[in-house]
Structure formats: C-alpha cells, structure tokens
Chain A
Amino acid sequence: MPFMRRRTREALAGWIFISPALVTQVLFIYFPLGWSFFVSFFRWNLIRPMRYIGFDNYTSMFTSSDFWHSLSVTFVYVAVTVPVSIFIGLLLALLVNLPWLKGKGAFRTFFYVPVITSMAAAAVIWAWIFESNVGLLNYFLSWFGIKSINWLSDPNYALVAMMIIGIWKRIGYNMVLFLAGLQVIPRTYYEAADIDGATPFKKFLSITWPLLSPTTLFVTVMQFIASFRVFVSVSVMTRGGPAQSTQVITFYLYENAFAYLKFGYAAAISVFMFVLMIIFTLIQFRFSKKRVHYL
C-alpha cells in the first residue's frame, strides 16, 4: 500500500487487530445490556408479542414483597460471608506467611483447591455433608450434643448452609490476595519493632493491619460483588426454598425469566442489579485512588 501514509497504515492495522474482540464484546455484552434496558419497559413472555408498559415492571418490582425479600436474603448472605471469609482468609495468610514454616507452597495450594473446583460439584458434595440423617456435619455436631439439623429443609438453617459453602469456597482466594499484600510490607518495619520488643500481636495491630488496608479494601469489594452474585449453590441445592429462605436475588431473576417467562420483569431486575454493581465498583475506584494506609 504505497499510497497510504504510515500513520494511516498503523491506524488501519490497529483497527484490524482490535475488531474481532470489539465486535464480540459489543455483540454479546453491550448489545444485550442495552436490550436489558429496552426489554425492561415491556411485558413479554416470548410467545405473545411484546407490549410497551412504561415503568410498570419497575413499579411492580419495587412494590413486590418477593423482590424485597430476595434482596434482604442476599444482603444477609453478603453481610455474613464477606467479613467471615475475609477474617479466615487473613488468618490463613498470616499462618502460611510465618517465616519458619516449611511447605508453604503445599499449604497454599491445598487451601486454594476449593476455589478452582466448580461450585456445582461442590454443592453436590456439600449436599451429602449436610444430609440430615447420616451426613458428616450432623455427625460432628453430635459430638457436642447438638441434635441433628435439617440443613437444607429447615428454613432457619438453609441460608446458613449456603453461607458455609460460600465461605469455604472463597477463603483460599482471600488468602492468596492477603499473602501478596503481606509480601509488599517492608521487613525493616518488623525489625525495628523487634528492637523495641513489640509482641506479635502489637506488631500485627500497628504494622501489618494498617499496611494491609489497600489489600483489605480490594478483597472486600471483590467479595462483596462475588457474594452478591451467589447463584449456583442455591440453584443446585435448595432452588430458593425452603419457604423462600434462600431466595437470593439472582435466583429470583432466574425464576422470573425461565420459570415464569416474565422476561420484561426479569430484565428490570437485571437493570437494578447492574446499577448496584456499578455503584460498588465506583466505590472501589474512589477508595483505591486514595492511599488507604494513612486513613
């Protein structure tokens, strides 16, 4: 192409290189996202033609007790799993990071196994552990005199069961991020503290915890978003039940779309979730720009 200027050629090459990815991302993410907004203004069951109903889907969503119920179930789930999984993840990271510990790599790998296995298989396995008559968990609890619990069929416990799996699945991920955060803290701080005769607990409070705060914030936001999206364990084990006690927002969305064929209404729920996610992400951006250390 001798007639083209060098910059034009470079621009052309650039567009050719990015276009396959751009086309797929636009077609399979941005276009559906736009569709979500569009469909949320219609009543549509895929069989009869779409009917424009304005904001009706949104008003019925915000006045639906089922919607608020599923939102509150989700927030209870998030409010427990996020702090607990962060606490255990940090504890594991501190243990595995002990300087004299041998076999660090092996421990790290084994703690990470639940993260890479699929939630669907994990849910099948945990359903067996939660089994009320001969399940492993009730057997362990019987050592402490606790009577057998119907983990998956008692409305008081089903969500707790979901939380246990959620926490179990995520602690390894949190541990790895905290381990990375711990490597960044300069050793000289600890050496100075040693000279001052600080106890390990004091060192944790005044060095490790404050300097880990950027990692902690990042882990918190990641876990918040991930927990909020809980779906697979519910879909495999309880299907929202018993008595809607595990009806999380994603499962509510799924049911409205694929069980009740209320596609317009489900799209409105999607839009609502999207707005929440954007808010979470913006909070993360805002905080991560500041230096959290010295707050």
Chain B
Amino acid sequence: MRKIPSLWIRVPLYIVIITIMLLVNLPFIWMLVTAFKHESEVFSLPPRFYPDFFDFRNFAGAMEQIPMGRYLFNSLFVALSVTLLQLVFNSFAAYGLSRLRFKGRDLIFLILVGTLMVPPEVTLVPLYIIVKNLGMIDSYRVLIIPFMSSAFGIFLLRQFFLGIPRELEEAAIIDGAGRVKIFFTIILPLSKPALWTMSLFTFIAHWNEYMWPLVSVSDPKYQMIQVGISQFVSGWETRWTYRMAASALTVVPIIIFFFFVQKQFVEGISVSGIKE
C-alpha cells in the first residue's frame, strides 16, 4: 500500500494543476467572454471577465461579414466525405495487407505506409499544379479526392486486423464464404473500435485543415471554415467581438464533440502515437 500524502501537500498540488488547466484553457474562455461582449466593453481596462449583458448580436454580425454558415457547412461536408471514403479505402487496403497473401504484398505495405514520411508541404506545389490542370480548383472534389486514403488509417486498421484471430474466419471459409463476405460479416463488425478511432482522427484533422483549402480554393462558395475565419484577421477594420464570435462557432462544436469522444481519441493517440 502506498501512503497518501498529507493535505499540506495535496491541496497546493491541486491548486497548481487547476491553475495550469485554467491557464491552458484561458484563450477559449476569453474568446467566449469577448464573443458575448458589447463592442464598447471590449476596450475597457482592466479587462472584464464577465460581459455586462449577453450580446448575441456579434454572432449575427460575424455571419453578415463572412458567409459563416456556408463555410461551416462546407467543412462539415468535406470532413464527413473524407472520413467516409477513408473508412472504405483504408479498411479495404488494411484487409488486403493483413489477410490475403500475394506476391509483392510487403512492398505494397511499405509504399502505402511510406507516405507518412512525406509531409503535405512537400507535395503542396505539384499537387496544386496537378489539380489545376485537371480543372479541379474551386470545387468540393479538390478538397476531398486527394485524401480518399491515408497511411495513418491503413496502418492503424492493419494492426488491428492482425490481432483478430484467424480461427474466426476459417469456419466461414469451410462454409464456402468468399473474401468479400468474410470482410463484411466478420472483420468489419469486430473492428468497430479501430474504425471509430480512425474516423475521429480523420474528421477532426480535415475539419481543422487550413493549408490545402487556402491554396486550392478561392471561391467562397467552396471555402472551408478555417481559412474563412482567418481571413477575418487580415481585414483590420473587423471587430474583435465578431472575430471571437466566429472563432467560437468554429471551435466550440469541435470541443463539445471531443468531450464526448475523448476517451477513444486519447487512447488512440497513446496506442499509435500519431496525430494528423
């Protein structure tokens, strides 16, 4: 049995941890406070941590200045599409790599996972030229199609599939089930945790994506939210209250979503050590 330290040690340590926690989250707290402030309150010194009254007009103001609704929809649509496509493409590839024997399989595995070593900045310029030549600039396609599969997802799912006992499939093979049937009726249902983890990572990574939509989209009709709100900064006349309201609309849904799924998410990081 380990002994529990006295209150004189525990209480200060609790205070330290809670203080750090508040400091780390202070930007979000400050964002929310500002988002509800009246324009005239923003420049008061010392800064006030509670608004005089909750002013929802900043959200309407932000939505008037930039097409927030459209941006949010685009981000949701793109991130969901990428996630769904990756579920299919990555799990197919992972199954082929973990369960089917064929010549050159190990090489294919290296080729697929080797892309982890290629950061997106390196392929940014040529990828832009390619999609430009294909006439894909300013479309949903340009935001979705290049990301239909990912090394991270394939790797994660393959590791998981390898852990599924083969005996489970052998019975089905004796019964004459084909590969496709085994994949859909045995492997996929058993892999829900891994599929879920992969989906969370993919969705959040693409919701947060900034660089690719910045270069490949200039039409606000297809622009994603991260580029959308960042354009708010360059317009110097924009009000801080509007900016914070727009940031809140971008960040708060993801934070709430994260609170619901944080367990799988954080465990996924510990297991794979990979972030997007």
Contact = CB atoms under 8 A, between A and B. Distances in A.
Contact of B266 (A30, A108, A124, A254): A108
A15 B96 contact: yes
Contacts of A123: 230, 233
27 contacts: A13-B100, A15-B96, A15-B102, A17-B179, A18-B97, A21-B92, A22-B112, A24-B149, A29-B123, A32-B126, A33-B122, A35-B129, A95-B16, A95-B17, A113-B25, A117-B208, A120-B229, A124-B229, A124-B232, A125-B247, A177-B273, A180-B270, A225-B119, A231-B121, A231-B210, A254-B124, A277-B122
A73 interface: no
Given A20-B148, A235-B230, A133 B43 contact: yes
B2 A194 contact: yes
A92 interface: yes
A22 B269 CA distance: 25
B24 A21 contact: no
Interface residues of B, number: 98
B123 to A, nearest CB: 4
Given A118-B208, A118-B226, A20 B258 contact: no
B250 interface: yes
Given A32-B126, A113-B258, A126-B27, A235 B214 contact: yes
B26 interface: yes
Contacts of A266: 125
Contacts of B258: 109, 112-113, 116
Contacts of A126: 27
A250 interface: yes
B221 interface: no
A117 B255 contact: yes
Interface of A: 7, 10-11, 13-18, 20-22, 24-26, 28-33, 35-36, 39, 46, 92, 95-96, 98-101, 105, 107-129, 131, 133-134, 136, 139, 168, 171-173, 176-177, 179-180, 194, 218, 222, 225, 229, 231-232, 235-237, 250, 253-254, 257-258, 263, 266-267, 270-271, 273-274, 277-278, 281
Interface in B201-249: 204, 207-208, 210-211, 214-215, 226-227, 229-230, 232-233, 240, 243-244, 246-247
B275 interface: yes
Interface of B: 2, 4-5, 10, 13-14, 16-17, 20-21, 24-28, 30-31, 34, 42-47, 88-90, 92-93, 95-97, 100-103, 105, 108, 111-112, 115, 117-119, 121-130, 132, 145-149, 151, 154, 179-180, 183, 204, 207-208, 210-211, 214-215, 226-227, 229-230, 232-233, 240, 243-244, 246-247, 250-251, 254-255, 258-259, 262-263, 265-266, 269-271, 273, 275
A100 B17 CA distance: 13
Contacts of A113: 24-25, 28, 255, 258
A206 B47 CA distance: 46
Contacts of A22: 93, 108, 111-112
Nearest to B270: A180
Contacts of A273: 119, 121-122
Given A116-B255, A124-B232, A257-B128, A110 B100 contact: no
A11 B103 contact: yes
Contacts of B20: 92, 95, 111
